[in-house]
Amino acid sequence: MFILLVLSNCAVLAQSDRPVTVKVVNINDYGAIGDGKTLNTDAINKAIIACDNAGGGTVVVPAGNFVTGTIMLKSNITLDLDPDSHIIGTTDLSQYKGYQLRREDPNEPINITVSDSAVWTRALILLDKVHDVTITGTGTIDGAGVTDIRGEEGHRGPHGIFIAESKNITISGIRVSRAGNYNIIGLYVENIKLSGITITQGSDGIHIRKGKNIAIDNCKFYTGDDAIAGGYWENAVISNCLINSSCNGIRLILPATHLEIKNCEIFGPGVFGHPRGNAINPLVTRTLTGILLQPGAWGLGGGKLADVYIHGVHLRDMQTALTFILNKGNQGQNIRVEDVVATGITNNACSVESWPDESSFENVKFKNISIAYTIKNADILKTKNFSRIGTESRPLPYWGFYIRHVKSVEFENVRLDYSGIEDRSVMGFDQVGSVHLKNVRYKAVGGIQPFKYKGKTKVTIENPGTFN
Amino acid sequence: MKYIGVALLLFTIGPFWCLAQVSLNALGKNGSVKIYNITDYGAVGDGAVLNTGAINKAINACTDGGGGVVFVPPGHFLTGTIQLKSNVTLYLDDDATIVATADKTQFTGSKLKPQDPERPINLNTKDTVSWTNAIVLIDKADNVNITGGGTIDGAMVPAEGRHVHGILAFCAKKTGISNIRVTRAGNWSIVGLYVEDFKVTNVTVTDGYDGIHIRQGKHILIRNCKLYCRDDAIAGGYWEHTVITDCLLNSACNGIRLVLPATDLDISYCDIIGPGVFGHHRGAVNNPWITNTLTGIILQPGAWGIGKGGLDNVYIHDIKIKDVQTALTFVLNEGNTADNILVENVTATGIYHNACSVEAWAAGSLFKNIKFKKLSVSYQVTDSAFTHVKYFQRPRTESRPVPYWGFYVRGVKNIEFDHLKMSYTGIETRPLMGFDDVGSVLLKDISYKRVPGVKTLKYSSATKVKLIHFNSQ
């Protein structure tokens, strides 16, 4: 074991691989000291400015524990974190900087309603209106869990990495941990590649509002709050991720078009808890919903949830597998969910719901889906009345699926199972234009009508079947 | 003592009756079971009052009444060792947390029996009683369950030196640990020594040293557990009839590590994904916490002290290994042989240090028959210290670089590879595979990335090699 360690500490190759024409600066040459005590805000920013003055290049963070306030990255800079390098957030809040949020576009509001945006946007690493920036290597950006009583909810501190109004940003290989608020946040961003990142603790993992061309690949999330969240995404691909959250796996709170979620595993319960519990046990680790697409949930935002392709997803041990809901000003179309396996679902049925009269889903398809429920709380079975969803999924009078205000929905090769006692219908359809059920298998609930329809629905069923 | 029927119980603890009923039905006779609420014995769940006496009183009352359920209601119950007796179920409410006190005098362990020199469990500790100190102790007790939805919290994980284990079972038959969370154990989270019918299901382990460590166990089941450990996630040895299935293993050391023999071992449907969420304290002075995951599955009887016996009838299948240093390492030491090992449907990606290996170095040790079927490994070795290895020796406790990038095989009678896919990215200068002291090799339906100018296979004339559909990509 010890021999391996010595070898893995060796960064010779990584450095010699860098093209010689690029300016490379080491933060130690600008006075940074990685002793875990010295405050390095000025030294690190000086190194970046020196690199910037040379037209860009690479700023190397060597092995060490570098305590710092906000690091302001400039265009054409690569921040390279050597093995065993840690950038650690200082508890001295005066060392952090934020930026002035741009005014909201009323047609596409990102709904960040904070009284002082310069305080709320503070971050350990800040990318403010820059382009072509890379953060890479194998080191760690550690927010040290810095809290601020002036912050959001009276406790949240600075974010980990804040990407504001920037484009061509790559973050790869690093670990981001214990951010005071979100670990990685992007607002008004374009061409964002996040890969091979491990995120532990902190609030949300990656939160992007208004982003175009987003790729999140091979990342691992172990977050207290939502792992991936945000909205107003255009062309977003989330692939090969392992997602663990004490809230939701993937939560969309504003519209998105061309969203692909593939080959992801979303496993509960959370490793790190979320502080929504009671006085005795404040940290709750239960995972709420695996994939929750709910534009407008935290404040209305007009637009479409369109061309969504979710496939190759494995969900396990959480309250709800999939919840898709539209709010005022939103339309949903071409939603395809394929090759999804969910087990150990403890609370609520999947749902596709639109509640405002003028909103609806069109062309929704579920194919090759298997969901196994294990309802833990018997009260859930008694659900009779329910209303429009709040921010989180809630019990329904159906155990498998609830579909509301959808023009056309198809289910093909779907298996729905439960263990324990059940006395509800498997699926409920409310104001649904057409339903096509092909090879739908479900566990029979004795004496209970399996499908319930409200309103005029055209139903075609091919090769149905039950099992016990 | 409190005696209540199921009907009353359901009324009293309504919201989780569903779960309670499952375990109570399993235990209760004639539809009734005795419930002992620890607060009736003076326990206070305020996080401050020490409850060692109260909780053990409830357990003793339960035992005196012929067994039943000791119920831990919502709260933070600070305590030293809880000693479970035969026929007792410790039921932790969803919001119940048992928290270890920092007061070391509140803990007890068990007096281990003398080692059988033929099957030594190799716990080389000066004082086994203090080494076996645990928050929940099952000492020579049978038919014991720990369940519910609550947490056992060790409350401290010392960086160096160890504190107490989470749950330790010694000479126990029929132990069931289910649905709970074990967190921040000061040493191993769940320990079994000389156990029989040992089941750990739906358990989440966070932080702490090893997740589940069993030495001398018969009929072991580990199912749907999620282990996020600083040290090895699952470890131990002298296992007979063991099933590890449907688990998520995250470790800053090894995913599954066998340090003593095992027979009839089935490992299936597990994800072993690095790097560790919690770091292991083995790094440099400045940054001692290392999160790299070492080997996905390392079977190495004798690695931590010789223990005779076979590694026989091992079936590893439907495994995903990702972002670890080494995917699979099988090593035999003095007094060990292996036979009938099948590895099937295993996909490993992002392997960044060492080739897979099957190695017997010790005199008299040998792998007789081993087969890899539908195995895919993709390497991303970036450090030249690993791609330019010339000399190597017998491995010590961890895998190490070898002068082959895909597989190293040594001391094997018959080895088969069927449907093997091997790829790498970056610069590679080594052969794909090397064979030393190998009787026969069958390579069938092999697809591999070619290293230009380098011979693909290296073996001596004594090895009989048969290639069928052996192609570079």
Domain boundaries, chain B: 1-177, 236-473
CA–CA min distance B442, chain A (Å):
32
Residue B31's pLDDT is 54
Indicate yes or no: CB of A280 within 8 angstroms of CB of B95.
yes
ipTM of the complex: 0.91
> Alpha helices of A315-466 — where are they, by DSSP H?
none
Contacts of A1 in chain B (CB under 8 A): 282, 294, 397-398
For B141, the 3-state DSSP assignment is coil
Answer yes or no: are the C-beta atoms of A190 and A130 closer than 8 Å.
no
Question: Which residues, in sequence order, are CB contacts of A307 under 8 Å at separation 6+?
Answer: A257, A258, A259, A333, A334
Closest by Cα among A417, A427, A420, A421 to A449: A427
- Taking the alpha carbons of B390, B394, B396, B399 in that order, is the dihedral positive or negative? positive
Per DSSP, the residues of A94-132 read GG-B--PPPPP-TTS------S-HHHHT-EEEEEES-EE
CA–CA min distance B14, chain A (Å):
8
Domain ranges of chain A: 1-218, 249-468
Element (H, E) at B161: none
pLDDT per residue, tens digit, chain A (468 aa), is 333 333 333 333 444 454 456 799 999 999 999 999 999 999 999 999 999 999 999 999 999 999 999 999 999 999 999 999 999 999 999 999 999 998 889 899 999 988 888 999 999 999 999 999 999 999 999 999 999 998 888 889 999 999 999 999 999 999 999 999 999 999 999 999 999 999 999 999 999 999 999 999 999 999 999 999 999 999 999 999 999 999 999 999 999 999 999 999 999 999 999 999 888 888 999 999 999 999 999 999 999 999 999 999 999 999 999 999 999 999 999 999 999 999 999 999 999 999 999 999 999 999 999 999 999 888 999 998 898 888 899 999 999 999 999 999 999 999 999 999 999 999 999 999 999 999 999 999 999 999 999 999 999 999 999 998
Indicate yes or no: CB of B228 within 8 angstroms of CB of A10.
no
Chain A residues contacting B, CB < 8 Å?
A: 1-5, 7-10, 12-14, 34-36, 63-65, 84, 86, 175, 198, 200, 218, 220, 222, 242, 265, 267, 269, 271, 277-278, 280-281, 285, 317, 344, 375-379, 420-421
Strands B88-92, A330-348: pairing is: unpaired
Residue A385 main-chain phi, psi, to 5 deg: -100, 145
Nearest to B45 among A63, A280, A375 (CB): A280
Q: CA B407 to CA B435: how far, in whole Å? A: 9
Class of domain B1-177: mainly beta
Strands B289-290, B280-281: pairing is: antiparallel
Closest by Cα among B203, B200, B205, B236 to B220: B200
> Alpha helices of B114-208 — where are they, by DSSP H?
128-131
Answer yes or no: are the C-beta atoms of A202 and A226 closer than 8 Å.
no
CA–CA min distance A176, chain B (Å):
11
Question: In this predicted model, what pLDDT tens digit does every residue of B190-230 receive, in sequence order?
Answer: 999 999 999 999 999 999 999 999 999 999 999 999 999 99
Indicate yes or no: CB of A220 within 8 angstroms of CB of B224.
no
Nearest to A4 among B45, B248, B400 (CB): B400
Q: Which of A178, A281, A284, A381 to mutate to test the interface with B (most CBs of B within 10 A)?
A: A281
Kindly give the parts of chain B with pLDDT less than 70: 1-31
Closest by Cα among A292, A289, A277, A239 to A261: A239
b/e per residue, B156-184, with b = 16+ CB within 10 A? ebeeeebbbbbbbbbbbbbbbbbbbbbbb
In sequence order, what are the beta bridge partners of B196?
B173, B218
Q: Which of B99, B179, B224, B286 to mutate to test the interface with A (most CBs of A within 10 A)?
A: B286
Nearest to A280 among B75, B224, B282 (CB): B75
Q: CA B162 to CA B168: how far, in whole Å? A: 15
Element (H, E) at B64: helix B52-64
The model scores a pTM over 0.90: yes
Q: Give the CB-side neighbour count of residue B370, counting CA atoms within 13 A.
A: 25
CA–CA min distance A256, chain B (Å):
30
- Strand ranges (DSSP E) for A63-197? 64-68, 71-72, 77-81, 85-89, 123-128, 131-137, 140-142, 159-164, 167-172, 175-177, 184-195
Residue A48 is classified by DSSP as: H
Q: CA A465 to CA A167: how far, in whole Å? A: 51
Indicate yes or no: CB of B273 within 8 angstroms of CB of A242.
yes
Please determine, looking at this structure, whether the domain spanning A1-218 carries the CATH number 2.40.240.20: no
Amino acid, single-letter form, for residue A202: G
Indicate yes or no: CB of B277 within 8 angstroms of CB of A12.
no
- Asked, colleague to colleague, whether A1-218 and A249-468 share their fold, the answer is yes
Indicate yes or no: CB of A277 within 8 angstroms of CB of B206.
no
Residue A235's pLDDT is 98
Chain A to chain B Cβ contacts (< 8 Å): 103
Angle among Cα A256, A261, A265 to the nearest 5 degrees reads: 140
Closest by Cα among A208, A214, A216 to A186: A208
Which residue from B minimizes the CA distance to A316?
B224
CA–CA min distance B18, chain A (Å):
6
Residue A45 main-chain phi, psi, to 5 deg: -70, -30
CA–CA min distance A107, chain B (Å):
41
In sequence order, what are the beta bridge partners of A324?
A293, A352
Fold entry, domain A249-468: Pectate Lyase C-like (2.160.20)
Which residue from A minimizes the CA distance to B95?
A281
Joined together, the tokens standing for residue B438 give 């190998």
Element (H, E) at B22: helix B17-27
Q: How many CB atoms lie within 10 A of CB A241?
A: 27
Contacts of A9 in chain B (CB under 8 A): 284
Question: Which residues, in sequence order, are CB contacts of A466 under 8 Å at separation 6+?
Answer: A441, A442, A443, A444, A450
Which residue from A minimizes the CA distance to B398?
A1
Contacts of A222 in chain B (CB under 8 A): 228, 277
Amino acid, single-letter form, for residue B297: I
Element (H, E) at B119: none
For B24, the 3-state DSSP assignment is helix
Indicate yes or no: CB of A198 within 8 angstroms of CB of B17.
no
CA–CA min distance A346, chain B (Å):
12
Question: In this predicted model, what pLDDT tens digit does every residue of B298-352 receive, in sequence order?
Answer: 999 999 999 999 999 999 999 999 999 999 999 999 999 999 999 999 999 999 9
Q: How many CB atoms lie within 10 A of CB B237?
A: 28
Nearest to A1 among B228, B248, B397 (CB): B397
Indicate yes or no: CB of B291 within 8 angstroms of CB of A375.
no
CA–CA min distance B277, chain A (Å):
7
Q: CA A160 to CA A176: how far, in whole Å? A: 7
Nearest to A86 among B287, B290, B401 (CB): B287
Q: CA A69 to CA A64: how far, in whole Å? A: 16
Residue B7's pLDDT is 34
